[in-house]
A and B are shown apart, each in its own frame.
Chain A
Amino acid sequence: MDVQALLLSVRLAVVVSLSLLVIGLPLAYWLALSRWRWKFLVESVVALPLVLPPTVLGFYVLLAIGARSPLGGAWSRWFGHGLAFTFEGLAIASVLYSLPFAVQPFTAAFSQVDRKLLEASAILGASPWRTFRRVMLPLSIKGIITGIVLSFAHTIGEFGVVVMVGGNIPGVTRTVSIAIYDDVQALNFARANATAVVLFAFSGVVLALVYALNHRVWSVQPEM
């Protein structure tokens, strides 16, 4: 089993999930409450990674973070090195790739919160931020956990985007799915199998967790 690759994948997934929490919650909040006429365009962009081949997404991300692009250029000037084939570049690409897996469950959860409760909170003097913390978040906690778990698992398993953007640098961009692919290419089936079994079990546990959460086998908040 390739422990180094596994640890790198977990690190990547943690960074991506946390980033999606920071980016995804405000975006989902806006998507759930906005009545803007062109909102569907933003929704389409968020959902794009669901249908786009990972290689296509990876290709364009690679162009966008390359040294000659504005983003890649600015990054080079600030940090002294480029984004392509680095952990940071890989993280940016993964955040984009997993965006719908976080934002869609968040948005669905926020949309289900009764507007009357948000109005009640405001009329009782709560600022929009307090309303979000005390009413919106607790009442959508299941959807938020689902979104985090799904984006975490999705990042662990991604392949195409990593190959395009990260390459195969041990300890930097060589994630667990790349490691398995390499082992198979090298006809090292035993080692590939050892890693694959871990991923297989992990995916099973994650899905069981998400479904249990949504079926209220147990509850993360006191029963309502």
Chain B
Amino acid sequence: MLRVSVRAAQPGGFTLDVDFDADAGTTILFGASGSGKTTVLRAIAGFLRPASGRVTVGDSVLLDTASGINVPVHQRRVGYLGQDLALFPHMTVEQNIAYGLAAVDRAARDVRVREMLERFNIAGLGRRKPAQLSGGEQQRVALARCLATAPRVLLLDEPLSALDHGTQTLIMEDLRAWNRRDPIPIVYVTHSHREAFELGQQILVMEGGRIEARGTPHEVLDAPARFGVANIAGFENVFRADVRAANATEGTMTCVIGGQTEIEVPFSGAAVGDQVHIAVRAGDVMVATERPRNLSARNLLEGEVMSLERRGPMVIARIAAGADLEVHLTPGACQSLQLAQGTRVWVVIKTYSWRVLTSDDEDIRRLF
């Protein structure tokens, strides 16, 4: 098990202050850029020395500022792979993978290199130079090189971000298969929801150098309890709301946003008259061009399309429906509804698509 507890002042003006354990399996470090994720990995790897802290793997101490222990990077037996793969350009794939095996005798080294080439599906590429490989192949070589040394912990800093989705999925599958056979803690930095859900057993959400939330990806990203997390976790719509009626037995409450628009949300324990914040994902909002009938969804708002913007594989619509909502649609849906700026629409949101957030003064100031 990896135990990390570090504090370090960062040049950006914030202080890194994190404390977590990571068991065998994948721990996701999630957060916006600049939140300190990479700094945490670099402190574990030994590339930077925190002002105070302690890092241990199993029984061995890698860093303990209190007793002056700071094991040099090359003696930590930690695997690290960044976005920048840093393959040695003057060496072949085989030489790259063998690089970390200097202490092993030649015969065993050759066996190990062949084994890694096969496990990461790059067996035919041993004699090539990194420049002659595709992005996905380079990625596999970098992983193989990293894992050939049998590290005690694996640190991955957005290693897949440069690849297409198909290749990402294949490599994630290889990584999972490897980790089942060789269960060590993996700390995986990403700001992709997809990677977080696909790989993570534990997720740590970082913001401003601190861990703001932790749990399983579903607990943390689906039901964020704090605004900062809601924002990062992709709840594009966050509103300040007044609780008008609470119905604990039915598990719902009615809130008012924008002064007059009534919204039914799950019961959160708030009392009538309380001010809360409610959030909904842009992808969980439905749009109709006629008033829908016989619908189970309890929130039906009339509104108007203010703008449509194509971004990659989706269309971002802004709809004024008592409050300004961001809605994500597929281009196909947008076309069949013949949406345009000014179109009258009905917006449908299920009660349980809403999340009620607990309040936090500092976060409120940041959001509004």
Instruction: Name A's B-contacting residues (CB within 8 A).
Output: 114, 116-117, 119-128, 130-131, 134-135, 138-139, 221-224
Contacts and interface: CB of A to CB of B under 8 A. Distances in A.
Contacts of B303: none
Contacts of B86: 114, 116-117, 119-120
Interface in B78-124: 78-80, 82, 84, 86-90, 99-100, 102-103
Interface in B31-47: 45, 47
Nearest to B87: A120
Contact of B100 (A125, A127, A222, A224): A125
Interface of B: 45, 47, 72-80, 82, 84, 86-90, 99-100, 102-103, 129, 131, 145-146, 149
Contacts of A222: 90, 129
Nearest to B45: A123
B88 A119 contact: no
Given A134-B99, A224-B129, A123 B90 contact: no
A138 B100 contact: no
With most chain A CB atoms within 10 A of its CB, the pick from B45, B77, B100 is B100
6 contacts: A116-B84, A120-B80, A120-B88, A139-B89, A222-B90, A222-B129
Contact of A122 (B73, B103, B145): B73
Contacts of B145: 124
Contacts of A117: 86, 88-89
Given A123-B76, A124-B99, A124-B145, 4 more contacts: A126-B100, A127-B74, A222-B129, A224-B131
Contacts of B73: 119, 122-123
A122 B129 contact: no
A151 to B, nearest CB: 25
Contact of A130 (B79, B89, B90, B102): B102
Nearest to B76: A123
Contacts of B90: 138-139, 221-222, 224
A114 B88 CA distance: 10
Nearest to A124: B100
B103 A125 contact: yes
B89 A125 contact: no
B150 to A, nearest CB: 10
A91 B131 CA distance: 44
A139 B87 CA distance: 13
B88 A125 contact: no
